[in-house]
Structure 1
Amino acid sequence: MNTRTEAGFTHVDQDLYAKAFQLLDPTPEPVTPTVPAAPTPVSVILAAAPPVHRAGPVEKTLSDALAFLDTHGWARFTLIHSEGARCSIGALRAAAGARNAAYRKAGSLLLAEARRRHGKQWKAIPAWNDSHSGPEVRGVWEAAIQRAHHLNI
């Protein structure tokens, strides 16, 4: 095997290169050295990121139902109005898609908030819904969503 170990490069005169570049650019602009920015520690980046909240099934059902009411409208004295608006129970049913555990817990939480704000006499959501104004009903929905968020359900 015949492998060369010598590179065979000729020596370069650095002064010659400096003189050549000076001839090409006789008045070079002064180069100011830049100080590289200090790297940001990863722990600082991670600490600054807000925690990601994933809504539980009850919070999601309540939020989706309120969004449904915002989009299609709120109704009294009927489950579904001819123009698509719904009462609170109708909105819960539309959001849940089925009468599952999230639907039942969301309904219980909504009724509990309604009773907390408007008195213990309310035995069911439809009677409470039909006896209050839109802003009062919306306030209870928002409180129920906040409670579900706080309880992480």
Structure 2
Amino acid sequence: MTTRTDTHFTPIDPDLYAKAFQLLDPTPAPAAPAAPAAPSPVSVILAAAPPAHRPGPVEKTLTDALAFLDTHGWAKHRLIHPEGARCSIGALRAASGARNAAYRDAGKLLLDEARRQHGQHWAAIPAWNDAHTGPQVRSVWEAAIQRAHHSNI
């Protein structure tokens, strides 16, 4: 049995494939070495931007409550003032929308911070709120928010 093998291939242009790939991906031939390119503005922003912080439910409740106090005002000796201002508990309730876990944990953290700054004898937020000035109360709120932030809660 004899098998014939034809070894006569059609000649091709040796640069045919190089030309075809250049058409598909036109990359200029490297010229003289250039100075390093400056990073694009987007890569600079992405490299410099820290990861986005997502506040936990306690931090969010405390932050929203303090924003509520900043917007509507802070009150003493009543939960809600007729003009809309609220005491610390009233602001927590407005921010949480319900007496849920975030509300309870935010209240515990706020009271703990009040005790750290103003003494351990405070049994509840309303008594502490009514016995202090606006700047003293705000200082406790800000410290509680920072603690929640650092604890990632």
Partner of 1:49: 49
Partner of 1:89: 89
1:61 CA drift (Å) = 0.3
Aligned-partner SS, 2:143: helix
| Percentage of matched positions with identical amino acids | 77
Q: Which moved more, 1:47-56 or 1:125-134?
A: 47-56
Amino acid in structure 1 at the alignment position of 2:117:
R
d(CA) in 1 for partners of 2:54, 2:112: 23
Partner of 1:118: 118
Counterpart check, 1:40 vs 2:43: no
1:40 CA drift (Å) = 3.3
Partner of 1:28: none
TM-score (norm 1): 0.73
Amino acid in structure 1 at the alignment position of 2:127:
A
d(CA) in 2 for partners of 1:46, 1:132: 44
d(CA) in 2 for partners of 1:44, 1:85: 44
Assess, with a 3 A threshold, how the Cα gap between structure 1 residues 82 and 44 changes in structure 2: closer, same or farther. Answer: closer
Partner of 2:14: none
1:39 CA drift (Å) = 6.0
d(CA) in 2 for partners of 1:83, 1:40: 54
Partner of 2:138: 138
TM-score (norm 2): 0.73
1:44 CA drift (Å) = 6.7
1:38 CA drift (Å) = 1.7
1:48 CA drift (Å) = 2.1
Aligned-partner SS, 2:102: helix
d(CA) in 1 for partners of 2:121, 2:59: 25
Q: Which runs of 5+ in 1 are unaligned?
A: 1-32
Counterpart check, 1:77 vs 2:77: yes
Aligned-partner SS, 2:92: helix
Q: Which moved more, 1:108-117 or 1:41-50?
A: 41-50
d(CA) in 2 for partners of 1:62, 1:87: 13
d(CA) in 1 for partners of 2:35, 2:45: 19
